């Protein structure tokens, strides 16, 4: 599935800037309509290390009223979260959706079938069962009236290496590159197999995946915004 993604797409700077501004302003208007209708938009980002998730999220939120959205960075579970079912910490963050119109997850519950699967942090029976659990979880969110958009930001191995090297040589970005990133890169085939199966088993009519070509950060940002505005507009009708 990932092999069919066109990673060669590009935009000129004028095309990028024009499309970005238009879509950002449109999303701002839709966020106001979400508030009026008391609806919640949940956006989750998954993707390869250095795929540009953070930069993508910044462009999505750039024109939004900061009172109306929250970005939720997700790391390894700690404290109380470690003693509960893996979906507990996400349910907990969704207890009062009326406080924000837009909730953005930087990484998500899909860690169960990605990093936890590949790194052996859960058993095979647990990650295989998770596909059904996640589909049921997402169906409940949508049935409650929430709008759910899921992004996988896809880049090539060569592009990832180029970005790793650029980070390593940049004083201001070196902190983003860790030994864990290099270690994960060595397991690219295992992660790729996990991503393929994740997309196959959890892209449903209720909550489809959008695979975003990310070799060009400009293309990825515009495509994510276009998907968001199109989806929200349709769901609010």
Domain that holds residue 150: 2-236
Quote the pLDDT of residue 96: 64
Assess contact for 60 and 225: CB atoms under 8 A. yes
Burial class (CB in 10 A: 0-12, 13-18, 19+), 31: buried
Residue-wise pLDDT tens digits, 105-160: 999 999 999 999 999 999 999 999 999 999 999 999 999 999 999 999 999 999 99
Quote the pLDDT of residue 173: 78
- pLDDT band for position 170 (cuts 50, 70, 90): confident
Segment 204-223 shows an average pLDDT of 98
- Give 197's DSSP letter: H
Buried b (16+ CB within 10 A) or exposed e, 106-117: bbbbbbbbbbbb
Per the structure, the count of domains in the chain is 1
pTM of the model: 0.94
Instruction: Please report, for the domain that includes residue 231, its CATH number.
Output: 3.40.50.300
């Amino acid at each position: 599935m990932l092999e069919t993604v066109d990673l060669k797409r590009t935009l000129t700077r004028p095309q990028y800037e024009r499309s970005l501004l238009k879509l950002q302003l449109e999303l701002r208007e839709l966020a106001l309509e979400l508030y009026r209708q008391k609806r919640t938009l949940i956006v989750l980002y998954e993707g390869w290390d250095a795929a540009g998730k953070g930069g993508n999220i910044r462009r999505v939120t750039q024109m939004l009223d900061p009172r109306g959205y929250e970005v939720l960075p997700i790391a390894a579970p700690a404290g109380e979260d470690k003693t509960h079912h893996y979906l507990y910490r996400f349910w907990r963050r969704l207890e009062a959706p009326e406080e924000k119109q837009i909730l953005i997850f930087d990484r998500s519950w899909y860690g169960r079938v990605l990093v936890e699967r590949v790194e052996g942090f859960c058993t095979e029976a647990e990650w295989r069962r998770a596909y059904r659990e996640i589909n049921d979880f997402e169906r409940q969110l949508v049935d409650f009236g929430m709008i759910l958009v899921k992004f996988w930001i896809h880049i090539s191995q060569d592009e990832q290496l180029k970005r790793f090297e650029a980070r390593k040589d940049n004083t201001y970005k070196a902190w983003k590159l860790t030994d864990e990133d290099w270690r994960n890169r060595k397991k690219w085939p295992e992660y790729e197999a996990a991503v393929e199966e994740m997309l196959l088993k959890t892209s449903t009519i209720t909550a489809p995946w959008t695979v975003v070509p990310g070799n060009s950060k400009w293309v990825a940002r515009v495509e994510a915004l276009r998907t968001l505005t199109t989806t929200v507009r349709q769901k609010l009708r």
